Structure 1
Amino acid sequence: MTPSFSRRRRLLAVAALACAAGPLHAQSFPTKPITLIVPWPAGGSTDRHHRLLAELAGKHLGQNIVIENRPGGGGTLGPGNMAMTARPDGYTISQFPLGMLRIPHMQKVPWDPLKDFTFIMGVSGYTFGFTVRSDSPYKTFNDYIEAARKNPGKIDYGSTGIGSSPHLLLEEVAINAKVQLNHIPFKGNADLQSALLGGHVMAQSDATGWDKFVDSGQMRLLVTFGERRTKRWPQVPTAQELGYNVVSQSPYGLVGPKGMDPAVVKVIHDAFKKAIDDPRHAELMEQLNQEVWYRTGDEYQRWARETYAKDKALIERLGLAAK
């Protein structure tokens, strides 16, 4: 046997072993708990959603999925840190909020939102609303905007962070209405709700973390930002109805670090797809007034690429692009 032929045989054997290792790893995955990063504080709507998803998917995986709250950076700190530090072995994954595709246009970040992640699946989108305390002088959203028109820069609102969807949709409203609002960013839903209830901000733009406060009469919901009125609060108009020409859903999904084994991605995807289809999940979606936005990993990645390009134009139009 010639040396070159022997070398070829060894290379073929190594290649065959490498091919075999992938499926074997996927068959044994997972062998320990998985960490799911939620880049918002505990207690908000996103946290509530992912805790149930983790519970349901964990049953199908045969391992616990542990929620780790890492708020900050408008929802980008947790996933961004994961991309830079976590091993692509499937044991660390994260929610991927829309801000991940916007904030890189607004400031320098050490990660690339398209190249540094493995897209696992699209999950859902938010119902955004604008609320005030029940004793607020603003009875309607038009009342609030009119106050801003009379007092430029003195009428404030809170959101879940600079560059987050609740922030940008209000800034888009302000541009369309030709008013100046004073934006106050918070780390997440829980901090924002407390600030509004404590009278530290006049109003808030947020996803449905405010639902229980609206239903209990502590807050007044003035407007929502979907394409149509919500089933849960059908008496509340949309921003589009009121003529502000803003519609926002802000879809989100699950990602891991770049370079994950496709077979492992499929195991995680399939478990979370079963979780999404569970009746308990449908019940929570109704409570949060959200709809399922399921996409495969490939579909989610394609959507992210298109949205990243489209939102660059939005950021520039709002005057928020990095200099």
Structure 2
Amino acid sequence: MNHAVWKRLFCCLIVSLVFIGSAVCISAAAEKKYPSSPINIYGPFAAGGPVDTINRVFAKKLEAYFGHGAVVVPQNKPGGGGSILASYIAKSARPDGYTLANISGHHICVPILLGTGSYSLKDFTIIGQLVVFPSVLVVPADSPWKTFQQFMDYAKTHPVKYGHPGNASTIFLRVENFIKHFDLKMEGIPLKGDSETATAVLGKHVAVGAMSAGTAKGLMAAGKVRVLFSFDKPTSFGLPADTPHLAGVLRGAAYTDIEPGQVLAVNSKTPPAIIRTLEDAWKEIMKDPEFQKTVADLNLGLGYMDGKTFTAKLPANMAVLKEMLQKSGQLK
């Protein structure tokens, strides 16, 4: 090879190294300055409702945390039982930290199991859990079951119809999992949301209603229902401390509940430095008194769980979800 060819190759090598070095420096600078452009945080439902409210409050808190004129825009990408937003984060959004999702593990996992989601768990990085949507079982105020134990004793030997907000709801899947674990003779009646479930309970069309704690608290305050059981820690969202709840009933027994929380998630290819920045922001916002008050006012729970812990629970959750989807006929 003559001298001229060697010279050209050497020049090309130098140019390539300079280009690579420049790209690395630019990338590092971009991460260091994050955020340097507006961040979008998407929810899986249309505007209005508790998830949208949390999205807006969290966006404001992110702006305050970052300071220096940072802009965080709450957005909505509803439809497909959460799969539209999950697909967008996993496959369409740029993994640069400027597209976040306020989504539930249920919204990510169920489409994977049903085959309607074009992604896997590996496509997401969970930053941390934002809130928990607590679930309860209620009965009419004049129900003959005065205690949860009375109800359990009856339901183990007699059929009991319960109303729920629909077969796609987390509440329904949690109740079905509970029924299986305790071998209860309960039959679910799918209804359209909490309002129809409440109407069915008050009209005595079903003996028990499975609904959100927020709906139940309003009915309880009006003297129309009694909360027999809470799947979540009752004092976390304003129920009496002596309300029977899952941890108390299990008494340490092995049980895999379906995680009812909304999480902050990004595409898994997001640079590690940006993920760490978002994790730090999440930790601070979860301790913010105003954010905590908003969560309490919405009758939600402040489920502090970091992303690594939440992610570690997802495979077991998927196994339970699969079984419950098969039981309900949604998955063959």
Matched, 1:196 2:197: yes
Distance 2:228 2:76 in 1: 33
What letter is aligned with 2:197? L
Q: Which residues of 2 match residues 154-165 of structure 1 at below 5 A?
A: 155-159=161-165, 161-162=167-168, 164-165=169-170
Q: 1:38 to 1:148 in 2, by over 3 A?
A: farther
Q: Which residues of 2 match residues 207-222 of structure 1 at below 5 A?
A: 207-210=212-215, 212-214=217-219, 216-217=221-222, 219-222=225-228
Identity %: 20
Matched, 1:116 2:123: yes
Measured after TM superposition, the shift of residue 157 of structure 1 is: 1.7
Report the counterpart of residue 293 of structure 2 in structure 1: 283
Greater CA drift, 18-27 or 209-218: 209-218
Q: 1:87 to 1:133 in 2, by over 3 A?
A: farther
Distance 1:209 1:71 in 2: 23
Q: 1:289 to 1:120 in 2, by over 3 A?
A: closer
Measured after TM superposition, the shift of residue 94 of structure 1 is: 0.8
Q: 1:123 to 1:44 in 2, by over 3 A?
A: same
Where structure 1 has 5 or more consecutive residues not aligned to the other structure, the ranges are 187-191
Report the counterpart of residue 278 of structure 2 in structure 1: 268
Report the counterpart of residue 65 of structure 1 in structure 2: 73
Report the counterpart of residue 80 of structure 1 in structure 2: 87
What letter is aligned with 2:99? T
Where structure 2 has 5 or more consecutive residues not aligned to the other structure, the ranges are 1-5
Distance 1:207 1:2 in 2: 73
Q: Which residues of 2 match residues 3-152 of structure 1 at below 5 A?
A: 3-40=8-45, 42-61=47-66, 62-68=70-76, 70-73=78-81, 75-100=82-107, 102-104=109-111, 106-132=113-139, 141=148, 142-143=150-151, 146=154, 150-151=158-159
Which one has more relative contact order, counting CA pairs under 8 Å at least 6 apart? 1
Greater CA drift, 6-15 or 42-51: 42-51
Distance 1:171 1:211 in 2: 19
Q: 1:24 to 1:240 in 2, by over 3 A?
A: closer
Question: What do residues 150-180 of structure 1 show as CA deviations (whole Å, max 9, x unaligned)?
Answer: 446xx23213652x53222211222223314
Distance 1:18 1:156 in 2: 60
Question: What do residues 265-286 of structure 1 show as CA deviations (whole Å, max 9, x unaligned)?
Answer: 3443333333222121233344
TM-score w.r.t. the length of structure 2 is: 0.74
Distance 2:105 2:120 in 1: 10
Of 265, 288, 293, which aligns to 1:255? Answer: 265
CA RMSD of aligned residues (A): 3.6
Distance 2:86 2:260 in 1: 16
Contact residue 138 and residue 144 of structure 1 kept, 8 A: no
Distance 1:156 1:282 in 2: 32
Q: For 1:171, what is the secondary structure of its paired residue?
A: helix
Distance 2:278 2:135 in 1: 29
What letter is aligned with 1:237? P
Larger Rg: 2
Contact residue 112 and residue 120 of structure 2 kept, 8 A: no
Contact residue 78 and residue 94 of structure 1 kept, 8 A: yes
What letter is aligned with 1:120? I
Contact residue 118 and residue 256 of structure 1 kept, 8 A: yes
Q: 1:8 to 1:211 in 2, by over 3 A?
A: farther
Greater CA drift, 174-183 or 141-150: 141-150
Q: 1:292 to 1:183 in 2, by over 3 A?
A: same
Q: For 2:122, what is the secondary structure of its paired residue?
A: coil
